[in-house]
Each structure stands twice: as structure tokens, then as C-alpha cells.
Amino acid sequence: FALRWDEVYDFIEFVAKSYPDDSLNEQFMDICNKVLKREVSAYRFVGSQIVRITAEEEIAEIEEVLKVTDTLRPAAIHLKTAMGLLSDRKAPDYRNSIKESISAVETICRLISGRDDATLGGALKVVKGKIDLHPALEKAFDSLYGYTSDEGGIRHALMGVPDLDFEDAKFMLVSCAAFINYLKLKSLKGGINF
């Protein structure tokens, strides 16, 4: 084997994505994760992608979002895209990973609010009235949305924004996954089925 380290991960990821038997793929990824953990690798399979995330709780939050009903599939697609942009070992795109992570939250908030054209801020106001959402959580995610969307934010500014790094994108990915799971549970508790 004359492969670089990242090419080995690419190959393992290719194997997992290419085999048609989901049950065997799950077993293969579980075995790979055990070996990666034993070898103290900074990478693990999350879904079907190898990502630089090792904390079991963070992996669980992301994987929970990826196991969705058809109604929530758009949010899962945004999160999976964010994970792909974050985990690209040759050219990671942290800025767009962050955009996709917050878009996943915006998508589930639109679903809960019933307003397809709402921004995250507008949808959160409606969501707050439909489920038991603490005002501090609403404000926190509205602020995160502002971080990505205001004039100097990640979604709009190409110049003048400090360089974004892995830690920024990972924080948004994991935080947004956790918030989506929280919203799913609160919605179900409030009688909103997906």
C-alpha cells in the first residue's frame, strides 16, 4: 500500500458507500470505528462518512438527525452536506459547512412553523408558540443565525470575515444537530408529528 493517510480513509469510505447491503455496511462501519478508536484515530464513521469527530455524544446527535422520516429529510440532507464539507480531507469548506448546518435548523423550524418562506428568526417566533421553547434557547439560536446571516456574517460576506476553521464548523454541525433533535422531541411532545 502506497497510499497517503487521507487516501486510506477515502478508500474505506468508498467501500462503505459502494456495497449495496445496508446491514453489512453497518457492521463494516462499526468494526472500522472500533479499530479507529483502538488506534486512537481522530476520525470515525458518522453515517456513511468518515469525519474528524470522536466524541460518542457528538456522533450520536448527528446520526440521530440522519435517521429521519421523509418529512424531515430536507433537514437531514442539509446536515449531511455540512458533514461532507467539513470532512473533505483535501479541501474542507468550513464556511459552507456552517451555512448548511444552520440551514438544517432553519428547515426544521419552517416545518414546525408551517411557514415555508420564513427565515430562522421568523420561524423561531412561531415555533415558540407551538412548542415549549424556552426564550433563552430561542434567543441563542436566533443569535447563531445572526452570526451566519447578518451583513458581516458567514452567509453574505466574502471579505472581511475572519478565517473559519474546523472548530467553528464542528461546533455548528454538532450544535445544530443537537438543536434539531431537541426540536423533534419537543414537537412530538407538543403533538406535532413528522
The structural domains of the chain, with segments of one domain joined by +, span 55-189
User: Which residues, 6+ apart, have CB-to-CB distance to 72 below 8 Å?
Assistant: 65, 108, 111, 184, 194
DSSP summary character for residue 71: G
Is the CB of residue 176 less than 8 Å from the CB of residue 117?
no
Cα atoms found within 13 Å of the Cα of residue 33, Cβ hemisphere only? 21
Q: What is the pLDDT along the chain (194 residues), one digit of tens a residue?
A: 688 999 999 999 999 999 888 889 999 999 999 999 999 999 999 999 999 999 999 999 999 999 877 889 999 999 999 999 999 999 999 999 999 999 999 999 999 999 999 988 899 989 988 998 888 988 888 888 887 876 555 655 554 555 789 999 999 999 999 999 999 999 999 898 87
* 55-189 CATH choice from 1.25.40, 1.20.120, 2.60.40, 1.10.1060: 1.20.120
Q: How far, in Å, CA of 122 to CA of 118, rounded? A: 6
**Through-space distance between the first and last CA atoms of the chain, rounded to whole angstroms:** 47
Is the CB of residue 87 less than 8 Å from the CB of residue 169?
no
pTM here? Answer: 0.86
Per-residue confidence (pLDDT) for residue 1, from 0 to 100: 63
